[in-house]
Structure 1
Amino acid sequence: MSAQPESNGCWRFARAVSVLLHPFAVFVALALLAALRLDPASLARTAVGIGIAVAIVWGFVLQRRRAGHWQTVDASRRQERPLLYLLALAVAGGYWWWMGGRASATSTGSLAAVAMLCAAGIANRWIKLSLHMASLAFAGVALLPLWRDAGVVALMLLPLLGWARLRMARHTLAEVVGGVVLGLVFGAVPLVLH
């Protein structure tokens, strides 16, 4: 896919949608809402843990981009993603431990997110699944039993985000659809297990 001109108004809108619905923002919102609904006493601990996790991964992303190792902050090329997956898995494991491991009210959801990252990392050999789409689909399904309206809104935003990822030429249609399927499947894991 060829990149769209950044001066184009549609491209700028697509970029704004991609930033607002970035996996970091989606997982921060999901973690905080899940803590609020499942274990309000853990809200401060959740905020600190997810904040540190995002800061670590975001620092790595910025370092890779500024050093010229990555084309974009989205790790847009498939070969840029293995290190990102390894770091994200390590950070997610640390977050799970920080939250109390298996004793945490959000343990199953955290482990489902880790499993989703593992699956995306394995699939990366063949296809660069959209983590934007996967995270929003995951959050939408995971939120349904916690706060139905928020889950429905997240799922309804999927077509807009898919358009944005395609418009910015960050993914192909197969990568966008594959990301949605990945997120829906792993987002349903906590529902099936409870």
Structure 2
Amino acid sequence: MRDGLAPTREAVRDHGYRLANAVSYFLNPLIFPPIAFALIDAHFGAGPVQIAWTFGVSVVFFCLVPLFYVMGMIRRGRAESLEVRERSARLGPLLVGIASYAVGALLLWRTVEGPALPLIVAFAALFPINTAVILLINTRWKISLHMTSLAGFVGVLLFTALTVWRDLPTGVETALTLATVGPLVLLVPLLMWARVRVGAHTPGQVLAGALFGLLVPQVQLWWIVYRWLDLVG
């Protein structure tokens, strides 16, 4: 299962392959940032106007700018699909992503208000930082971007749930966290299967992506929010 290995015609006709391909496209990495930003705002009680603004900014800088760049690559024949499966072709999209995420993070920092601001800004800052880390990994090894994105989405929502509800009784906090984030955890193994099934990654690459997404943002957010900035008491 090498980089860029095309599936056989028999594989494409297989129902499992088609299901896995549909899962891969439905759980595209670009859809998660706007949803996560809006949910963080909502968790902290932001009004509809601010939620809409946060969502809109994240759609533009964390979704559309990288998407349009990849679409341009496809038109120029530099990529076969939005997945950009060739490791060597991912440098441009990752660099564009870092720049766009940095602009989006700065804009959110200057415009978002209320109790959600610390976590919104901290979360936004992780995008250019962690994308740069992934870029460095990508120079040597093809880690799964689908998995880093989905697992990161789940991990950040878990951190948010525990932050918002930290003053509740332990049993209530646990129940609320399980009810809101628990079902999303089931998507992680599903997407891991799908990425391997379509021939985009090896099991090791999807496992590494999942662990990166679940663990790294959690540690970073905890340190930024509670230790470095001491923004949440």
The answer (yes or no) to whether the contact 2:195–2:201 under 8 Å persists in 1 is: yes
Deviation at 1:179, TM superposition (A): 0.7
The answer (yes or no) to whether the contact 2:147–2:206 under 8 Å persists in 1 is: yes
2:135 aligned with 1:121, yes or no?
A: yes
* 1:49 paired residue among 52, 57, 62: 57
Deviation at 1:61, TM superposition (A): 0.9
- Rg (Cα) greater in structure: 2
Which runs of at least 4 in structure 1 moved beyond 3 Å after TM superposition? Answer: 101-105
2:103 aligned with 1:89, yes or no?
A: no
2:72 aligned with 1:58, yes or no?
A: no
Q: How far apart are the structure 2 equivalents of 1:179 and 1:48? A: 27
Deviation at 1:185, TM superposition (A): 2.6
Deviation at 1:39, TM superposition (A): 5.6
Secondary structure of residue in 1 paired with 2:13: coil
Map of 2:221 onto structure 1: 190
Q: TM-score, normalised by structure 2?
A: 0.77
* 2:148 paired residue among 134, 137, 142: 134
The answer (yes or no) to whether the contact 2:147–2:188 under 8 Å persists in 1 is: yes
Deviation at 1:186, TM superposition (A): 2.3
The answer (yes or no) to whether the contact 2:79–2:89 under 8 Å persists in 1 is: yes
2:78 aligned with 1:69, yes or no?
A: yes
Secondary structure of residue in 2 paired with 1:144: helix
Alignment of 1:90-169 (within 5 A): 90-100=99-109, 104-105=117-118, 106-147=120-161, 148=177, 149-169=179-199
Q: CA RMSD in A?
A: 1.9
Map of 1:25 onto structure 2: 31
The answer (yes or no) to whether the contact 2:99–2:128 under 8 Å persists in 1 is: no
Q: How far apart are the structure 2 equivalents of 1:84 and 1:73? A: 10
Q: How far apart are the structure 1 equivalents of 2:152 and 2:143? A: 13
* 1:16 paired residue among 19, 22, 31: 22
* 2:208 paired residue among 174, 178, 188: 178
Map of 2:42 onto structure 1: 36
Map of 1:7 onto structure 2: 13
Give the share of equivalent positions with the same residue, in percent.
Answer: 22
